[in-house]
Amino acid sequence: MNELLNKEPVKRVQKKLLEFDASNKVMVLDSSARTALEAAESLNTDVGSIVKSLLFKSENNFILCLVSGDKRCSLNKLKKIKQLKNISMANPQSVKEVTGFTIGGVSPIGHLKEVEIFIDNNLKRFQNIYAAAGHPNCVYKVNFENLLKMTSGKVEDITE
C-alpha cells in the first residue's frame, strides 16, 4: 500500500501539506475512499466529515466546491453566487486536466491549474475533516480553519 505514496498526484498533495505544516501527512487506507460513504466507513467517522471535491464548469472557467459528505452541492446556489446562467459538473477529462487528479481522488489542494474554490459551511460542524489526497485510497485529516487557509477558498452556503 505504501507504493501509493510514490504516485505523482499523492506526492503533489503531500508536498502541499508539508509546506503548510510539517506534521501533516497523507494516510493510506486499506479500503477505497472513492465515495464519501466509503471514506467514512474506512475511517470510522461521520460521512459529513468527509470532504467531497466537486469540479464544476462555468461559462469560461472552473470552480471547485468542497462539500460535506452528507450534503449535495446546489447548482442554483452556485449560479446565484457566481451570477451565471450556465454551470454544470465538469467531465472526467476536464477534472483530470484542471486538477491533475482522477475522480475519486480529487484533493482540495495540489491542483495543476489555479481554480476558484468554494467551501461548504456545513464542514464547520466537525472538529476534524478528511479530504482525498490524490488517490482513492489516500486521504488527509485537517480542521476547517486549516482547510480554509490551505485552499484560500471562500466559505459559502452551497448545499441543498
Measure the CA–CA gap between 116 and 136, rounded to whole angstroms. 23
pLDDT at 60: 86
Measure the CA–CA gap between 158 and 160, rounded to whole angstroms. 7
Model confidence at 1: pLDDT above 80: no
pLDDT at 27: 94
Q: pLDDT tens across 18-73, in order?
A: 999 888 899 999 888 888 999 999 999 999 999 999 999 998 899 999 999 999 99
Helix (H) or strand (E) holding 8: helix 8-20
pLDDT at 109: 97
Q: pLDDT tens across 104-153, in order?
A: 899 999 999 999 999 999 999 999 999 999 999 999 999 999 999 999 99
Around 33, how many Cα atoms within 13 Å sit in the side-chain half-sphere?
32
Topology given in CATH for the domain delimited by 2-156: YbaK protein (3.90.960)
Contacts of 15 (CB under 8 A, 6+ apart): 110
pLDDT at 33: 84
Residue 132 has which C-alpha cell? Answer: 482525498
Domain range list for the chain: 2-156
Measure the CA–CA gap between 137 and 109, rounded to whole angstroms. 16
Measure the CA–CA gap between 111 and 137, rounded to whole angstroms. 18
Q: What is the mean pLDDT of residues 72-96?
A: 96
Measure the CA–CA gap between 31 and 75, rounded to whole angstroms. 31
Whether the Cβ atoms of residue 90 and residue 56 lie closer than 8 Å to each other: yes
